[in-house]
Amino acid sequence: MAGKGRGVAAFTFNIEALGIGRGSMPEARVGPSPLFPSTDFKPVPLKAGEDEDYMLALKQEMRGTMQQLPHNIKPQSNKSEVERYTERYLKKSQIEDEDWTPDWNLFPKELMPQTKKPRAKAGTKKKPVKISRKETEAMLSKLDALAKNDDRNPEKSDDETEKKPGNEEEEEVEAEEYDEEDIEEVSLQIRT
Amino acid sequence: MTAQEVRLCGLLLREHFGEVVEKVGTQLLRSGAQNLRTIIHETGLSVDLVKKSLMVLVQHGACLFSSGRKGPGSPTEYRSGCDRILRILRYPRYIYTAKTLYGDTGELIIEELLQRGHMTMSGTVKTVADRLTQNMEEGRSMDYSEVSSAFSKLVETHFLQRCPPLAGAGTADSTNPAPGATPATPSTPAAPPTPESFPDCYKVPHMTLVGRGKRQLTAEDGEDQRNAKRQKMDPEAHGDEGIYWQVNFERFHLHFRDQAIISAVANKLDQTSSEIVRTMLRMSEVTTSPAATCTKPLSANEIFRSLPASYNIPRPILDQYLTLLVDDPMEFVGKAGESGGGMYVVNLHRALANLARATLESVVQERFGSRSARIFRLLLRKRHLEQKQVEDFAMIPAKEAKDMLYTLLSQNLVQLQEIPKTPDYAPSRTFYLYTVNQLPTARMLLQNCYKTVANLIERRLFESKESKRLLEKSQRIEAILASLQASGAEPEQLTEVEEMITAPEKQQLDGLRLHINKLDSAENQVDETIFRLESDVNSTATS
């Protein structure tokens, strides 16, 4: 800190080149700049005329309409069992066509909602999956049998395969509960 | 995809499509192309909701999907762009333009297409005819053929275009052969084909649709509504299945650009010059490509012949006007040759750049005062100036000039350029020049505009949320009033219901309504500035 005390306000360059003098430095900052600084000049008032009024009306109408359309997806809300009296009047103003049947040619197949059929298939699918898993594990266990005892390995593979059907059943149960909840709270029905 | 753009897109999605779509949309915008599983994992929403949101986004053209990068077997990837979502701000302007050009029918067609994303021609015609019939007097209804002719006119002038058919959507579409599209080999994930690359883009399909609009009876019970729904679901083949139409935003933008140039000429010169420029632009509508720097050259003879009949100015006067336009420093019109009485072009890119420059100058003037604006204009014209030269040319005392320059510098509107005399950049032996670069400054102001609109929307949502209880109460009372009036009630009952809102509450409601209208109107007008800056930035980027 050689410059401390003697040249504490010394700059490394010739200050005259920038055209500012030693005395015209702005005050040092004491903190972050204010969030809403005061402005010297007030903003110009908005344009007002027929066109602007019409576009304003269009904008508000469009916003209202788009919130009623089926495109507007509402997060799942718990419907109260007793319909409130006030809501009865609000319901009448909603748009009639709540269903939206899109043309599936334009969307990728994976976006189609799953119907109930795959659930039956999942049961039949499990077995080939299990079999293939069992097969691969049987192969592995056979390979292991060369190095280890024969008694321990079949028990090991049985334990593992028992755990997996247990997990799959849990997942299956969760998926079922999940889908039932979906069907109950529907704001958008998609018919295939 | 800056942070401000993403924030604004999120708010727009929330207002129009709900919070679920907002979450999915912002996830796509922030992280680029992703497949379905990643989106589900990152947003934490249920599979069903994510699928529905993606469908809504694809329906409105905000999201594109393509097969994955790793080859035909990989899952489809979804990507989204800010541009399309930011257009939502401009919807009222599009609808209003359609109204001025094509009347109420055109206005409703564009409104329906904007709300639904894309629709078939028959669907649009039916819905619009029903809506028009609703507003007409009893006993009259709108014929489908009138609406169809309005639709065809919109397609002819390219305001509507067909949606591009998809290559990898799972079904082989042989109905619309596309020579420009990439076939099912996704070896090169090229940019998705633009709608213009298909030859049938602007062809109106042959459609059998005869009838008139149906007036919808106000249904008292839900049962009537369901009957109406069943009627609508009758599949009537009109010969245009699978052909979907969408609004062509680029064409609207060209129209706005032309309007901006014409009004600028009218403000700077006079009405007749603006009419001449309008004629020139109208004549070159079809011959000029959207990204052209200037229109095709037009001879003075042609312009003279095409002037509207109400302006019968003699030929020498027209020549004088054209010379004035060419000599004007704004350089809207340029001379390209001498044949045919003089060949004239409209310099589109230069006009856009000048309009953006005027916007920048006015921003500086309104924020920092006219003397700072004088310094700013000086630097724009003279490019690089030293501190001393700025004071001399601007004729402002040294101290104030320094102050203003440093304010502009701290706001990043003015930049400092160092020119060293020696290779070691020693400060005492370096020139420091002030300069303004128009393009980066325009970009910075554009981002400021996005931030402004996002702040306006947030403030409006905050105001509505604060007075939510009051707004709901007034909505309920309006609904009760409407139902009472429909079932024929006495005036005393109506006044009784109206008095449920007390006077101070009414005052509060009025104040709230005023604030919300102001905020909405401000959003619309900031969007005009956004359009000017965006078109200049885009035109400079491509040229």
Q: Other C-beta atoms within 10 Å of A5: how many?
A: 7
Across the range B195-205, mean pLDDT stands at 67
Tell me the pLDDT tens digit for each residue of B452-510: 999 999 999 999 998 888 888 888 888 888 888 878 777 777 777 777 778 888 898 89
Give the N- to C-terminal CA distance of chain A in Å, as an integer: 78
Confidence of residue B197 (pLDDT cuts 50, 70, 90): low
CA B225 to chain A, closest CA, distance in angstroms equals 7
Chain A nearest-CA residue for B24: A73
Secondary structure letter of residue B69 according to DSSP: T
Tokens of B453: 């609109």
Tell me the pLDDT tens digit for each residue of B45-83: 888 888 888 888 888 888 888 877 777 777 788 888 889
In this prediction, residue B75 carries a pLDDT of 79
CB contact under 8 A, B111 and A39: no
Instruction: Out of A29-33, A56-60, B181-185, pick the least confident.
Output: B181-185
Residue A126: partners with Cβ closer than 8 Å, 6 or more residues away:
A165, A168
Option in B48, B91, B388 nearest A19 (CB): B388
List of chain B residues whose C-beta atoms are within 8 Å of the C-beta of residue A67: 15-16, 18
pLDDT at B12 over 70: yes
C-alpha distance from residue A30 to each of A34, B79, B406, B533 (Å): 11, 45, 19, 36
In this prediction, residue B8 carries a pLDDT of 95
Confidence of residue B25 (pLDDT cuts 50, 70, 90): very high
List of chain A residues whose C-beta atoms are within 8 Å of the C-beta of residue B52: 73, 188, 190
Q: Is residue A44 within 8 Å of residue B366, measured between CB atoms?
A: yes
Confidence of residue A136 (pLDDT cuts 50, 70, 90): confident
List of chain B residues whose C-beta atoms are within 8 Å of the C-beta of residue A62: 91-92, 95, 111, 114-115
Q: Where does residue A19 fall: left (phi above 0), alpha (psi -120 to 50 degrees), or beta otherwise?
A: left
Domains of chain A, residue spans = 50-187
Query: Which amino acid makes up residue B231?
Result: Q
Q: Give the three-state DSSP class for B448.
A: helix
Name the more confident of A78 and A135.
Answer: A135
DSSP letters for A59-119 = HHHHHHHHHHSTTSPPPP-PPPSSPPHHHHHHHTTS-S-------GGGS-GGGSPP-SHHH
In this prediction, residue B339 carries a pLDDT of 87
Instruction: Out of A3-17, B119-133, B464-478, pick the least confident.
Output: A3-17
Tokens of B261: 């140039």
Confidence of residue B161 (pLDDT cuts 50, 70, 90): confident
Q: Is B502 near chain A, with CB under 8 Å?
A: no
Name the more confident of B172 and A60.
Answer: A60
Contacts 24+ apart (CB under 8 A), A110-114: A110/B36, A110/B51, A110/B75, A110/B76, A111/B36, A111/B51, A111/B54, A111/B55, A111/B58, A112/A192, A113/A190, A113/A192, A113/B48, A113/B51
Cα separation, B477 vs B317, in Å, equals 64
Across the range B17-27, mean pLDDT stands at 91
Q: Give the three-state DSSP class for B261.
A: helix
Instruction: Out of A26-35, B252-261, B371-380, B389-398, pick the least confident.
Output: A26-35
What percentage of chain B carries pLDDT values higher than 90? Answer: 39
Option in B52, B76, B518 nearest A108 (CB): B76
Whole-number mean pLDDT of chain B?
83
Residue listed under structure tokens 């009784």: B496
Tokens of B543: 């040229």
pLDDT at B189 over 70: no
Residue B132: partners with Cβ closer than 8 Å, 6 or more residues away:
B104, B105, B108, B142, B147, B213
Name the more confident of A109 and B417.
Answer: B417
Across the range B320-332, mean pLDDT stands at 90
C-alpha distance from residue B97 to each of B41, B107, B352 (Å): 42, 8, 20
Secondary structure letter of residue B293 according to DSSP: S
Residue listed under structure tokens 């027929």: A50
In this prediction, residue B56 carries a pLDDT of 87
Q: Is residue B307 within 8 Å of residue B313, measured between CB atoms?
A: yes
Tokens of B244: 């979907």
Cα separation, B392 vs B218, in Å, equals 75
In this prediction, residue A89 carries a pLDDT of 54
Q: Other C-beta atoms within 10 Å of B244: how many?
A: 23
pTM of the shown model? 0.77
Q: Is residue A192 within 8 Å of residue A99, measured between CB atoms?
A: no
pLDDT at B512 over 60: yes
Confidence of residue A131 (pLDDT cuts 50, 70, 90): low
Cα separation, B268 vs B301, in Å, equals 25
Cα separation, B71 vs B320, in Å, equals 64
ipTM: 0.79
Option in B116, B168, B367 nearest A41 (CB): B367
